[in-house]
Amino acid sequence: MSKLRHFPLTQRFVAAFALLLLVAGCATTPTETMLAVPAPAQKYAAIVVDGSGKTLFEANSTAPRYPASLTKMMTLYLLFEALEQGRISKTTLIPVSANAARQPPTKLRFRRGETIDVDSAIRAITVKSANDVAVAVAEYLGGSEDAFAAMMTAKARQIGMPSTVFRNASGLPDAGQLTTARDMAVLGMALRARFPQHFHYFSESDFMFRGRLVRGHNDMLGRVRGVNGIKTGYIRASGFNIVTSYDADGRRLILVVMGADSARQRNDHVEALIQRNLSPASNTTTRLLYAEQ
């Protein structure tokens, strides 16, 4: 995998709400797209990377941020790896401990001693972002959630995520659990490249479990043609986060937006970044519209 370019943290504060201003250049100069971003500077970060690992756009991409449920992407990476290595199968039953069952929502509301098969666990994590299932997976694969979090951090280093530390498997609040937009782009690319046979799980918007339809949170699915995953996340400290995969018409992108004030602002910003970065780099330059303070 190509390494992403490292950019310094911008020193300017970012405008508060999403507003797109299109500035057309003359026929002999490139078109420039200016984007006002959807969050305060202390939370906002973004990056757009193409299929080769080339950075097309970035803002605050190496600044520390809380991953929230983007954390579950690494939980799934280790689960997919266990499947690939034959340590588990999709029919393996994962027990739910008292600790897993008492996790706060979002969850499937298991009781202690119940089980969930691996295939359903994957869907519960990708679609519902179920905290109880993420912890059950961590305890099953790692022996304890703490041990599994150490495995997650070690895997992050191995695949090229130098600024990420995991403390739990769910993304629930922990002051020590930090990442960057750049690292999340690396993880998104790694999931797509390493596990193409499992990547379809990230494109599912709902699934059936115990006779009921469980709906998901990723409203980018079906909103923009070519979007095929990956994961959303939110805690109060992080704002609204997303990693998005785009694959259509011979173009492949991974986009990360972190720290938006709402899911709608986040999704609008992702859509704008997709549209502007699908244009040839020689014809379009994307940059942020900042508020100087």
Residues marked active site are found at: 69, 72, 129
Q: Are 134 and 173 in contact (CB under 8 A)?
A: no
Among left, alpha and beta (phi > 0; psi -120 to 50; other), residue 242 is beta
231 annotated among ligand-binding-site residues = yes
Neighbours of 55 (CB within 10 A): 16
* Rounded Cα distance, 74 and 59, in Å: 23
- Considering only the C-alpha atoms of the chain, give the largest distance between any 2 of them, rounded to a whole number of Å: 68
Contacts of 92 (CB under 8 A, 6+ apart): 117, 118
Peptide bond into 230 cis (omega under 30): yes
155: helix, coil or strand? helix
Strand 31-36 to strand 284-289: parallel, antiparallel, or no bridges (unpaired)? parallel
List binding-site positions for substrate: 231
